[in-house]
Structure 1
Amino acid sequence: MTEPLIELKGISKAFGNNKVLDNIDLTIYRGEALGIIGPSGTGKSTILRVIAGLTAPDSGEIYIQGVRRKGLIEDSADPIGISMVFQQAALFDSLSVEENVGFLLYQHSKLSRKRIRDIVHEKLEMVGLGGSADKYPSELSGGMRKRASFARAIISNPESPNEAPEVLLYDEPTAGLDPIASTVIEDLIRQLQCTQGVCSTYAIVTHQDSTIRRTADKLVFLYEGRVQWEGHVSDMDTTSNPLIRQFLSGSIAGPIHVVG
């Protein structure tokens, strides 16, 4: 069987008395589009941060392309690049779109400013933001800010190809967007997956039904810090699992405890 690109074994994480991940096992294979779903507060975003190397688990092991990670991403480089798209886009308001997208290269490469600008413009074209380089985040719509964050996530230094992101992690990429803007983002996620030289593997956290169905192939359902169900997207319409049935229907009656 093909070796997992990313493998979590027995991952647990608590914040104070709140245990958000409880002995989680998770695998992601090359070329896979994994959807991570479940009620709010069940550790979905925490899993992404653990995979990205931004949050350390309390226990368990993380393997990236078969190599066990020790510490956080700042402690040692992974054998493959992993990039994350944050829920709120996380753009610097005081920087232009070009400066936001090219931030990593401006800060950590020896490329000329012109070369960086060329790379930034190429990535902006890929996400449908050609001509927006000199704008500021305040001048962009919510969907455009999300696309700018995509461009930043996929940018890499051509002189260090081993650092190019091979895996993208999306945290609620369509949150707060209207249905049309959401469709644009969902299409872009799939387009980037199919674009040569861009991340072909990704994991996406979402609550939105259209985003689940249009961007994911495989699903894992988290509840109470554990993987309670997993299967293909098409399986969620036929499963008898009461957690999935309640989640999809939005019913307040069922095994999922309604907070408040």
Structure 2
Amino acid sequence: MVSLLGSALFPLTLSNGASRSARVAASGGGRISSSCFKHMKEQRKVVCACMAPPRDLRRDESSATKFNDSFKSESLSTVREPEDDSNVLIECRDVYKSFGEKQILRGVSFKIRHGEAVGIIGPSGTGKSTVLKIIAGLLAPDKGEVYIRGRKRVGLISDEEISGLRIGLVFQSAALFDSLTVRENVGFLLYENSNMPEHKISKLVTETLAAVGLKDVEDRLPSELSGGMKKRVALARSIIFDTTQDAIEPEVLLYDEPTAGLDPIASTVVEDLIRSVHMKGEDAVGQPGQIASYVVVTHQHSTISRAVDRLLFLYEGKVVWQGMTHEFTTSTNPIVQQFASGSLDGPIRY
């Protein structure tokens, strides 16, 4: 069974009482009436954008992604990965993806480790958002493998009985339900798939909104919020979790263009919030962040400099460069140089 929310298909795999390893991370936009919402609460069977970890472990014998054959002027990475892969949360290995005759990904390989803040950058149309959707389980690769906590994903979102990692996806457009209040949007996962009483969910929603710097907005509709506030509500929805669970798995958040359409000040607010909910930061109320790692797809130079530590550069469906953020502007790779400077002269053509 599937539900069409916004522009993405979300497999529905959990029913009340099923394993909590799968998670609602974000919901597509759409209109839901109050009566429909109440009916959905009673049924407690629908999970949208649910993401779960997959099966099987195979060791990766390569320590870096091969450089695009067309541009060999710079080594792919100056950072050697440790041999111990015990802290690898997500790995994509030689992933290919096409839509019809258009080939988007042509052998993408990389690892996301516990504690990392990673940015995926590159020209438009090179497959950055596609990579996020494959990690999240919303798309299946045509070829290649995705490993979550060392377990190979089989199919799409289907491994709800396996615990190990929660993956949240924050969409570029915020993708809030426009006929639900902020409280109902943020608490959607818990209303639908937990046994928490409603008053406790409401309290947790208020606390989570405070963590992203929002107060007294619970009863507003998305149409009453600014663009920056909508982004923060979407972030709150992605980090809320059932506090009654015995064990909470580490979480990876995936951000698709989180500052798109925002003015520079609002962008700075969102970038700082992304940092604050990370395990290495403190949220808006001074509490330690609880996000194990995160991945940001972005074109914004401010987001690159403020919100991430390591970069993966995608070009023509491949990772052609990776390095630390401070290496980005000093790279000798002609593709990276052109992207960093915004020059019309170089290998990237539009």
User: Under a length normalisation based on structure 1, what TM-score does the superposition of the two structures give?
Assistant: 0.96
Q: How does 1:1-260 map to 2 (within 5 A)?
A: 1-3=84-86, 4-76=88-160, 77=162, 79-160=164-245, 162=247, 166-193=251-278, 194-195=281-282, 196=288, 198-258=290-350
Letter in 2 for 1:35: G
Q: Rg larger in 1 or in 2?
A: 2
Instruction: Give the 3-state SS of the residue equivalent to 1:237 in structure 2.
Output: coil
Letter in 1 for 2:103: K
> What is the CA–CA distance in structure 1 between the aligned matches of 2:201 and 2:125, rounded to whole Å?
39
> What is the CA–CA distance in structure 2 between the aligned matches of 1:176 and 1:164, rounded to whole Å?
33
Cα 1:129/1:165, change in 2 over 3 Å? farther
Cα 1:84/1:201, change in 2 over 3 Å? same
> What is the CA–CA distance in structure 2 between the aligned matches of 1:46 and 1:161, rounded to whole Å?
34
| Structure 2 unaligned residues grouped into runs of 5+ | 1-83, 283-287
Moved more, 152-161 or 225-234: 152-161
> 2:96·2:105 contact (CA, 8 Å) conserved in 1?
yes
Moved more, 162-171 or 134-143: 162-171
Instruction: Give the 3-state SS of the residue equivalent to 1:228 in structure 2.
Output: strand
**Deviation of residue 160 (structure 1)?**
2.8
**Deviation of residue 161 (structure 1)?**
5.3
Cα 1:147/1:164, change in 2 over 3 Å? farther
Instruction: Give the 3-state SS of the residue equivalent to 1:239 in structure 2.
Output: coil
Instruction: Give the 3-state SS of the residue equivalent to 1:5 in structure 2.
Output: strand
> What is the CA–CA distance in structure 2 between the aligned matches of 1:65 and 1:241, rounded to whole Å?
32
Moved more, 128-137 or 75-84: 75-84
| Structure 1 unaligned residues grouped into runs of 5+ | none
Using the aligned pairs only, state the percent identity.
Answer: 54
Instruction: Give the 3-state SS of the residue equivalent to 2:277 in structure 1.
Output: helix
> 2:163·2:249 contact (CA, 8 Å) conserved in 1?
no
Instruction: Give the 3-state SS of the residue equivalent to 1:203 in structure 2.
Output: strand
Cα 1:215/1:41, change in 2 over 3 Å? same
**Deviation of residue 73 (structure 1)?**
2.1
> What is the CA–CA distance in structure 1 between the aligned matches of 2:91 and 2:145, rounded to whole Å?
8
Number of aligned positions between the proteins: 258
> What is the CA–CA distance in structure 2 between the aligned matches of 1:69 and 1:58, rounded to whole Å?
13
Cα 1:78/1:206, change in 2 over 3 Å? farther
User: Under a length normalisation based on structure 2, what TM-score does the superposition of the two structures give?
Assistant: 0.72
**Deviation of residue 158 (structure 1)?**
1.5
**Deviation of residue 252 (structure 1)?**
1.8
Cα 1:56/1:74, change in 2 over 3 Å? same
> What is the CA–CA distance in structure 2 between the aligned matches of 1:55 and 1:104, rounded to whole Å?
21
Q: Deviations over 1:35-59 (max 9, x none)?
A: 0000000000010111111111111
Cα 1:161/1:155, change in 2 over 3 Å? farther
